[in-house]
Amino acid sequence: MDKRSYIIESANGDAIIVDKSVIGFSPADTMNHIQVSATGLDGGTYTVQFRPVSGFDYVDYEAGVAQTSAVLLQNGFLAEAVKVSFVGLGAGADPKICITFIRRSF
């Protein structure tokens, strides 16, 4: 199993887009699982969307996720980019995500 993890901070609670320009590779090229978690939401939630390979728009995957939960995009989705947005952040929020790209070959 091969994996690569990145911690990315949000500027002012803005959405985070993770694609080749941020991580140096397209997740669709080699990775078949993507795990996302978030912290620093101060009571808020997060939404995970992905852009399919050669797609035009982001596709909703999971919305209203609590900070205590993680999201796993599994086989069947070729994601060229992942977008994480935040809703209902508290005054002390300092959101960041941990995103892990996983390649499994069984």
29 vs 9, more confident: 9
Q: Mean pLDDT of all residues in the chain?
A: 92
**pLDDT for 48 beyond 90:** yes
Res 105: pLDDT: 64
Question: Exposed e or buried b for every residue in 19-34, given b needs 16+ CB within 10 A?
Answer: eeeebeebbbeebbbb
The band of 28, judged by pLDDT with boundaries at 50, 70 and 90, is: confident
> Is the confidence at residue 10, as pLDDT, over 60?
yes
pLDDT greater than 80 at residue 44: yes
Could you tell me the pLDDT band of residue 29, with boundaries at 50, 70 and 90? confident
CATH architecture group of domain 2-103: Sandwich (2.60)
Give the burial class of 56: count Cβ atoms within 10 A of its Cβ; 0-12 exposed, 13-18 middle, 19 or more buried. exposed
Task: Show me where the domains of the chain are located.
Answer: 2-103
Q: From the CB of residue 99, how many other CB atoms can be counted at a distance below 10 Å?
A: 23
Q: Residue 78: its pLDDT value, please?
A: 85
- Give the chain's count of helices (H) and strands (E): 2, 8
| pLDDT tens-digit map of 55-104 | 899 999 999 999 999 999 886 778 999 999 999 999 999 999 999 998 86
